[in-house]
């Protein structure tokens, strides 16, 4: 690897599986110290920490919807590795409901994790970034933040708002050298998607592949490489921008 993140300290939320795990692995390989996060410690977090090594990574369990827990996580991570210079807001929650059937608890939890969580994390790391002369925040949004399909409520609402948060924070702190960008993945072969595909018939699963112009589903590492670029100094003039990683799917006129 080329050590593109040497000297940087990164917090990656939701980092024990899927896209988050791919990001954490790649960031460590490129020289960063990484704070891993999920709701609770489990076999996935223990295995990832053992793989990356305690000299390079620290796992902290925290619910990003809890602002006090986020503040404590950031303080602990900074005590271990130094001020956080890169934040990847990857943790998220899929809630899909028909609006009239959706419960208040579903609405509140979706917005708490998918929108308020990234805001809590950003507010926690921003003082250190501003005092240290800059940093990079990368929000993992979704193609659902660009295109609407039925029965994807309120997830799409939260992801549209997350892209708005990205642009607003990016402009707010641009002159102080903090860049805020987002990535909008399409269908990516995370563990969650693999399990979903297994529940489909072979014909239904093939239909999902056929909908993609490239005729294949994306891989977590393909999102991770974009996060690496945005986190690195190579992207120092990219700010308040969203990058779609969906194989061109969202550009099709038909479904």
CA 2 to chain centre: 23
**Which residues in the chain show pLDDT less than 70?**
1, 254-255
* Burial of residue 95 (number of CB atoms within 10 Å: 0-12, 13-18, 19+): buried
Residues 69-82 pLDDT 10s: 999 999 999 999 99
> Could you state, in order of their start, the residue ranges of all structural domains in the chain?
9-188+219-249
- Which CATH number is associated with domain 9-188+219-249? 3.40.50.720
Q: What pLDDT is attached to residue 255?
A: 57
Q: What pLDDT is attached to residue 1?
A: 66
The dihedral region occupied by 78, where left means phi > 0, alpha psi between -120 and 50, and beta the remainder, is alpha
The question of whether 155 is a catalytic residue gets the answer yes
Catalytic residue among 155, 173, 225, 253: 155
Residues 178-208 pLDDT 10s: 999 999 999 999 988 888 888 989 899 899 8
């Amino acid at each position: 690897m080329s050590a593109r993140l040497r000297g940087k300290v990164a917090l990656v939320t939701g980092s024990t599986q899927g896209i988050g795990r791919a990001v954490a692995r790649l960031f460590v390989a490129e020289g960063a110290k990484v704070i891993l996060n999920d709701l609770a410690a489990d076999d996935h977090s223990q295995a990832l920490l053992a793989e990356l090594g305690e000299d390079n990574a620290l796992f902290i369990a925290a619910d990003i919807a809890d602002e006090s827990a986020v503040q404590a996580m950031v303080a602990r991570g900074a005590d271990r590795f130094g001020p956080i210079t890169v934040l990847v807001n990857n943790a998220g929650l899929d809630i899909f409901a028909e609006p009239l059937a959706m419960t208040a608890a579903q609405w509140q939890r979706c917005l708490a994790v998918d929108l308020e969580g990234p805001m809590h994390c950003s507010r926690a790391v921003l003082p250190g970034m501003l005092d240290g002369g800059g940093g990079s925040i990368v929000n993992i949004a979704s193609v659902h933040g660009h295109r609407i399909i039925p029965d994807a409520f309120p997830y799409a609402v939260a992801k549209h708002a997350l892209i708005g948060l990205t642009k607003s924070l990016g402009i707010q702190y641009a002159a102080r050298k903090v860049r805020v960008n987002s990535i909008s993945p399409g269908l990516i072969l995370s563990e969650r998607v693999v399990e979903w595909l297994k529940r489909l018939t072979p014909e239904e699963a093939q239909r999902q592949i056929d909908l993609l112009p490239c005729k294949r589903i994306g891989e977590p590492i393909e999102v991770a490489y974009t996060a690496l670029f945005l986190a690195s100094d190579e992207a120092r003039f990219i700010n308040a921008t969203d990058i779609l990683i969906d194989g061109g799917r969202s550009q099709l006129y038909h479904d």
